[in-house]
Amino acid sequence: MFHLMPYRDLPADFGERYRSAFLDPAWFDVADPDLVGKYYNWTLDELLYAANAGMHGVCTNQHHQNVYGFMANPSLMGSVLARGTNSQNVAIVQIGSTLPSTSPPTRIAEEYAILDCISGGRLVAGFPAGLPTDATLSNGVVPIEQRERYKEALDLVLKSWSAHEPFTWNGKHYQLPHVNLWPRPIQQPHPPIWIPGSGSASTVEFVVDRDDCFCHLSYAGLRSAEMLGDYYWDAVTRLGRDANPYRFGFLQLVGVSETDAAAEEEYGRHVEYFFHNLLHTPPYYQQIPGYQDYPSMVRSLKEPLRDRSDTTPLKAKDFIDRGFLIAGSPATVRDRLLDGVKRLRVGHLMVLLHFGSMSHEQCLKNIDLFCREVLPALEGLWDDEWDDRWWPERLRVPRPAAEAMA
Amino acid sequence: VTHAEERRLRLWQGKIETRVDVIGSGPPLVYLHGPWGLRADGAFLSALAADHTVYAPWHPGTTPGDPNAVHEIDDWLDLLVYYGELFDHLGLENPPLVGHSFGAMVACELAAANPARVQRLVLMSPIGLWRDDAPVRNWLIIPEAERRQALFAAPDGEAARAFFAVPEDRDARAEAVAAFTWAQACVGKFVWPIPDKGLKKRIHRVAAQTLVLWGEQDRVAPPLYARDFARHIEGARVEVLTRAGHLPHLEQPEQVSRQVQVFLAGPTVSA
């Protein structure tokens, strides 16, 4: 289960007051700090509840200066989750700390290593490059250097995890006189690596080439991702990798209720809140010159891999009809998820079971129904043919054993 | 527009290809472009070329075919040394420098770093200094709907229209938008997140005769900064142009080119 930790109770006129969910909203005009304290606790409770309900992994992420999701340091959340799920068959999926925004990035290597130690080797190490707003505007990273820093930081982190001798790092963006990390991850040479992307051709190729798990974090749903999915699997073939579905992850908004009508009724206003308030970020904050390298920019101008159509006029029903949100009875959700997952060959499906203004109780209900009625139909879908090489080794055990552990 | 000769130089241990547009005849002059590349500056360069040989190098990374050159120049020291190499390759000992916006900042830094090599300096709407009471606008995040208003005194004027015009054909448009965007990214590398990179500590070393030109309606770098440049550069002359924004050479091309020509033709005054 994926969680953004959004602001759940924005004022009704938020959309008119602010042009952007990122950077512009004024804390002292919008936020209630006591409520925010509740959100953090609810978020942790919801993820722990999902772990108890049978979810295979819990996901955190890093964003800054916004109402959309503000786990500014996902390791803080991840450590609570790691501790709270000890002895359970649940991965701590940090997806994650943004390398270019943290200097030196060995700080993230240390935090992840701590998480792997606390969790007993259950960490999935996610390495997003970070949204342009987060890296460049909130953290001052030079836009055209974001990717370069990211790549250097990733090399540094991986070396720092597994090098047997202390070393000096003489990089372009980072220079460190002595790297001899304490602790190291239990999983050696490194935990499974997942790298999110949102539709950039060079990220796809970079991840396939590295043989890591590529996670497409769109919010437009499985159905809208067919072009990106096809591009991804073409790249896999072109670069000589196998067709193992577990190398591909996908994020989907899901809302389950007793019936289709009840689901629309219960989740409709939350999905509108999500797209209209929380995702309301103008292109001048997200498409800062330099955030894409030159070939990707030319490519996305000529043939975008991702539909960036305007969602402002869409209503709840549109979001459901177009598959941005898969909502309905357990049977409907199962069918639609299975269709999309098979079509795109998704091995790791991340479900956003809390979105928008959803209450704690509604979220628990969603988790409950999903884990009881939907998850069993998805589990082990690809296991006859493929091994999940992008999952913590200690968790690669049959699920019934997991229930016994819990 | 006078025909420009296009030269290609390989510099920086062979790692950077730089296009230099060379126009006109007469004594040399180097023009350093602003954040949007050289695309719109042709007519202005032609006017300067009436009595000079204008050398207009493309900022590293903006030369078509070599976008990754920008990753070979890491910081201001690299950039200034690189320009020294470029001038050497062009056989230019101490050419007058005319810079616009970011290009003016480069020119001013060059003049401060190597006063003997820069004897005449024209700074058009330079950036490089910072005041909390009048921040320089971050042009990389100007909303599309506000760009004309931000850059031009007359947002609906001919100069603004020509500046933002893109080809009809989809692929040609993609290439044009990409070049325009990439130029901002390549230049932005050296002034992100704000353009205060220490020029205030070095500017007193400028020994060149200096002309500072500013558009009265500059909404990127407020004209207030003209005073700061003049205060730090001994003998600098300031001209504020009416009906001009951050691109005065596009909105008032005749006035600006005349001012520059008169200034460059003037007698040498020892500081």
The DSSP annotation for A40-70 comes to HHHHHHHHHHHHHHT-SEEEE----SBSS--
- Residue A176: count of CB within 10 angstroms of its CB: 15
Whether B140 sits inside 8 A of A294 (CB atoms) is no
Structural element, H or E, at residue A168: strand A167-170
Identify which of B61, B71, B170 has the shortest CB distance to residue A302. Answer: B170
Most distant CA atoms of chain B, gap in Å: 54
Q: What is the ipTM of this complex?
A: 0.94
Q: Judge whether B208 and B115 are in contact, CB under 8 Å.
A: yes
Distance CA B181, CA A292 (A): 10
pLDDT tens-digit profile of A255-309? 999 999 999 999 999 999 999 999 988 989 988 999 988 988 998 888 876 666 7
Whether B68 sits inside 8 A of A284 (CB atoms) is no
Identify which of B68, B71, B184 has the shortest CB distance to residue A289. Answer: B184
Q: What's the one-letter identity of residue A358? A: M
Q: What is the pLDDT of residue A405?
A: 43
- Taking 60 as the threshold, does the pLDDT of residue B103 lie above it? yes
Q: What residues of B are in contact with residue A302 (Cβ under 8 Å)?
A: 170-171, 174
CA distance A157 to chain B (A): 22
The DSSP annotation for chain B comes to -PPPEEEEEEETTTTEEEEEEEE--SSEEEEE--TT-STT-HHHHHHHTTSSEEEEEPPTT-STT-GGGGGG--SHHHHHHHHHHHHHHHT-SS--EEEETHHHHHHHHHHHH-GGG--EEEEES------TTSPPP-GGG--GGGHHHHH-SSTTSHHHHHHH---SSHHHHHHHHHHHHHHHHHHHTTT-S-S-SSHHHHGGG--SEEEEEEETT-SSS-THHHHHHHHHSTT-EEEEETT--S-HHHHSHHHHHHHHHHHHHSPP---
Helix (H, G, I), strand (E, B) or coil at A252: strand
Distance CA B258, CA B253 (A): 8
Q: What is the pLDDT of residue A308?
A: 63
Q: What is the pLDDT of residue A398?
A: 76
* Inter-chain Cβ pairs, chain A and chain B, closer than 8 A: 65
pLDDT tens-digit profile of B218-261? 999 999 999 999 999 999 999 999 999 999 999 999 999 999 99
CA distance A297 to chain B (A): 6
- Taking 50 as the threshold, does the pLDDT of residue B196 lie above it? yes
Task: Dig out the tokens for B110 from the structure.
Answer: 């060059």
Q: How confident is the model at residue A400 (pLDDT cuts 50, 70, 90)?
A: low
pLDDT tens-digit profile of B113-162? 999 999 999 999 999 999 999 999 999 999 999 999 999 999 999 999 99
Most distant CA atoms of chain A, gap in Å: 62
CA distance B75 to chain A (A): 11
- Taking 50 as the threshold, does the pLDDT of residue A406 lie above it? no
Looking at every residue in chain A, the average pLDDT score rounds to 94
Question: C-alpha distances in angstroms, A357 versus A66, A137, A267?
Answer: 15, 26, 9
The pair phi, psi for residue A138, each rounded to 5°, is -80, -30
Cβ within 8 Å of residue A342, ≥6 positions away: A381
Whether B144 sits inside 8 A of A137 (CB atoms) is no
Task: Dig out the tokens for A350 from the structure.
Answer: 């991340």
Regarding predicted confidence, which is higher, A400 or A278? A278
Mean pLDDT throughout A10-36?
A: 95
Q: Which residues pair with A58 in a beta bridge?
A: A92
Q: What is the pLDDT of residue A303?
A: 81
Mean pLDDT throughout A315-338?
A: 97
pLDDT tens-digit profile of A185-244? 999 999 999 999 877 788 899 999 999 999 999 899 998 899 899 999 999 999 999 999
Question: Helices (DSSP H) in A96-172: which residue ranges?
Answer: 106-118, 132, 146-162
Q: What percent of chain B has pLDDT over 90?
A: 96
Task: Dig out the tokens for A319 from the structure.
Answer: 């979001």
Whether B175 sits inside 8 A of A284 (CB atoms) is no
Q: How far is CA A245 from the centre of its chain?
A: 17
Whether B144 sits inside 8 A of A301 (CB atoms) is no
Whether B144 sits inside 8 A of A172 (CB atoms) is no
CA distance B60 to chain A (A): 13
Q: Which residue carries 């996901």 as its tokens? A: A59
Whether A301 sits inside 8 A of B177 (CB atoms) is yes
Q: Judge whether B193 and B184 are in contact, CB under 8 Å.
A: no
Whether B192 sits inside 8 A of A142 (CB atoms) is yes
Whether B193 sits inside 8 A of A140 (CB atoms) is yes
Q: What is the pLDDT of residue A402?
A: 44
Q: What's the one-letter identity of residue B98? A: V
Identify which of B71, B170, B186 has the shortest CB distance to residue A148. Answer: B71
Mean pLDDT throughout A244-253?
A: 98
- Taking 50 as the threshold, does the pLDDT of residue A20 lie above it? yes
Mean pLDDT throughout A33-52?
A: 98
Distance CA A146, CA A288 (A): 11
Cβ within 8 Å of residue B87, ≥6 positions away: B30, B93, B95, B117
Task: Dig out the tokens for A154 from the structure.
Answer: 């990733």
- Taking 60 as the threshold, does the pLDDT of residue B1 lie above it? no
Q: What is the pLDDT of residue A312?
A: 87
Q: Identify which of A12-21, A282-291, A328-337 has the greatest average pLDDT.
A: A328-337
- pTM score of the predicted model: 0.94
